[in-house]
Amino acid sequence: MNSRSLAAIGLGIVGLVLGVVAATSGSGIFAVLAGIAAVAAGGMGLIPGGVAQSMAPDGQSVAELEDALASQVQARIAAEDAVKSLGAQLAKAQNPLEGTAEAADSVVNSTAVLTDPETGLFTEDYFNVSINARIAAARRHLRPVAIAVIEVVRLEDGARVPADAGLVSRAITKTLREADTSCRMTDGRFGLVLEDTPENGAIWTVERIRREVNEHESDLTMWAGVACYPSHAFDSANLLAQASAALKDARDWQQDRIEVANPQ
């Protein structure tokens, strides 16, 4: 039996005694006191145990309430910290985007330097940089990359007259994909960087360019040297050297010729 029950019984006894006294003496005051004691005893009996405990919690209940309150405070602090962290990340991410926009403007402004004015293709400098970038990406993703060096001429009395650069560049642009890169070198040759393309795909791409050129001028001769990463070289300098050597072998022929570099 708990203290709440004992208190109710005690108040009940007090009320009973006061009631007897009031009945024998006829005093109204004792009757009133007896009624108050009875009401108090009844109230103690009607209060649920859970409510009574909440009204007068023991040490364990107080500790549990403190722990719950502390957990809520910590959760709120953690949530506020997370919001602040997210805001900082968004602010930090905004700066690279602004830098990218500035870099894009810089690229647009330097387009005239990176492109050949006669054909609109990229220059030889861009060709060399593109090879480096594509090989680095191919090495990370384990994909092939092919490059081709092309020369188109008209044979006149034993002389080799370069073909119209605009005609060749239009044939190249029409044939290549958006992911590929086409350039015109300072000596009049054309360089191609073919994304995710093995040896057979590179040969077929160059052959399509040759057919496109011959549809407009059938008396032109096209020579090409093809080299692929990683079949023929593992770095850009050796890959370009292999393609140039293959083009040199193709130029020994008097008709159209596509030569592939020798495997390492």
* Peptide bond just before 117 cis, omega within 30 deg: no
pLDDT tens-digit profile, the chain (264 residues): 555 555 555 545 555 554 544 445 555 554 445 445 454 545 454 444 444 344 444 555 656 665 665 565 555 555 455 445 544 554 454 454 444 445 444 544 444 578 999 999 999 999 999 999 999 999 999 999 999 999 999 988 878 999 999 999 999 999 999 999 999 999 999 999 999 999 999 999 999 999 999 999 999 999 999 999 999 999 999 999 999 999 999 999 989 999 999 987
CATH architecture of 124-260: 2-Layer Sandwich (3.30)
Instruction: Give residue limits of the domains in the chain.
Output: 3-56, 124-260
- The helix-helix angle for 3-25 and 28-46 (nearest 10°) equals 160
Comparing CA positions, the residue from 124, 166, 175, 173 lying closest to residue 149 is: 124
Q: Rounded CA gap, 121 and 116, in Å? A: 5
Query: Do 128 and 236 contact (CB within 8 A), yes or no?
Result: yes
Full-prediction pTM beyond 0.85? no
Token pair of 167 as six digits: 């005609």
Token pair of 213 as six digits: 């050129």
Contacts with 238 (C-beta within 8 Å, 6 or more apart), sequence order: 232
